Structure 1
Amino acid sequence: MTPEFTHYNAAQARALRGVVEDVFRRAYVDAIASGDLFESPAEFMKRFDAYTHPRSAGFELVVARIDGKPEGQAWGWPLSPTAGWWTNLRLDEGEGDRAEFTTENGTRTFALSEIMVSEEHTGQGLAHALYDELLRGRTEQRVTLLVEPDNTRAYTAYRKWGFRRVGSLRPSWPGAPTLDVLVHNLE
């Protein structure tokens, strides 16, 4: 298995909506089957459309193809000074001043919004390869992501990649769960 990676900006990513939804459906089979509104393909695609809005400066999508078929994807963007990413953040004790932690300038933090691999290719290192490819050449000081506290598989991987928990937050999306906030310094 040798994946081929292709990078897309926000406008190019919007043109790949069908590919993005297909990979999501093949990566989150159990979550979709749960019936949770937040995990539904329709709600997921609403979030994707918001992330790839024409004003989404710096958005980047990486698609991994194996034998020409999209089998994984990851995306994110640098947090601007007006980004809402840190809204509702509850920092863990000892993580410092909230205002200082959440101050963004467009080059401080890269928000890794999604990383997913089709069920057929999980456990083969593709998620880590996607992560490395997405961050290759990034100049931000740190990367952050959100993870469900009980998602042991993802949590274990993120810790191996150098992430640490700094707090929790509940995104403003309808039906969003409270998620753990992880950060990894890139410098």
Structure 2
Amino acid sequence: MEPTEMAKLTLRRYDSASLEQIFEQLLDIYAEVYADHLDDPFFAVDRFAERLRAHAHAPGYELVLGEVASEPVGYIYGYPLGPGSRWWQGVTTPVDPDLLTEHAGRTFAICELMVRPAWQGKGFARRLHDALLGKRREERATLLVEQDNEHARGIYERWGYRKVAEVRPSWPDAPTLDALILALRTD
């Protein structure tokens, strides 16, 4: 990466209303990033498209797409959890019930963070992450990571995330994932 590439990263924000204009591009990036998983039905592109559309219906949904010289580098998206959120359904480990109780302003859920392979290891994931969460007012952020993805877990831990539970999401044939939380503010 040339030193100027990071400086030239353009961040574009999308909500559920504007998502359709980049939807196919997002699927292409997903297929590139998850190329080694696409034979698993849960990770198939059409199944991801279903999840992406479902997530986009959540109130407060936001996506940040990063580009360098109009070339997409990657994206991140999520939404705030509200009371009665399904996010914590499927917790398979003992955990303090208070940790799973949601109220307005408590938790922002990151559903996906992906950077195309050619751009990985250059700080773009962190820039996308910080762009999405930088102005959030929630107390904490949460995300799910594959249990065998030690590389991603290591990155998230360096950013301050900590594992709080194991979760099997309600999506058909979803794997068991580790739930991580990052404190965003303490006031």
Shift of 1:90: 3.4
After TM superposition, which residue ranges in structure 1, 4 or more long, deviate above 4 angstroms? none
Does 1:80 pair with 2:82?
yes
Supply the distance in 1 between the matched residues of 2:21 and 2:70 (Cα, whole angstroms).
Answer: 18
1:44 maps to what in 2?
Answer: 48
Q: TM-score, normalised by structure 2?
A: 0.92
Supply the distance in 2 between the matched residues of 1:91 and 1:9 (Cα, whole angstroms).
Answer: 33
Does 1:8 pair with 2:14?
yes
Aligned-CA RMSD value: 1.2
Note if contact 2:92-2:168 (Cα within 8 Å) is conserved in structure 1: no
Secondary structure of 1:48's counterpart equals helix
Give deviations 1:50-105, integer Å, cap 9, x for gaps.
1112xx2100000001110112000000001121001011345xx5x21x111212
Provide the identity percentage.
Answer: 38
Secondary structure of 2:64's counterpart equals strand
Q: TM-score, normalised by structure 1?
A: 0.92
Secondary structure of 1:11's counterpart equals coil
Where does 1:1-187 land on structure 2 (aligned, <5 Å)? 1=5, 2-32=8-38, 35-53=39-57, 56-92=58-94, 97-98=96-97, 100-187=98-185
* Aligned length, in residue pairs: 179
Supply the distance in 2 between the matched residues of 1:167 and 1:105 (Cα, whole angstroms).
Answer: 19
Supply the distance in 1 between the matched residues of 2:22 and 2:68 (Cα, whole angstroms).
Answer: 17
Residue ranges of structure 1 left out of the alignment (5+ in a row):
none
Note if contact 1:14-1:52 (Cα within 8 Å) is conserved in structure 2: no
Residue ranges of structure 2 left out of the alignment (5+ in a row):
none
Give deviations 1:21-68, integer Å, cap 9, x for gaps.
011112112122xx1001110100010011112xx2100000001110
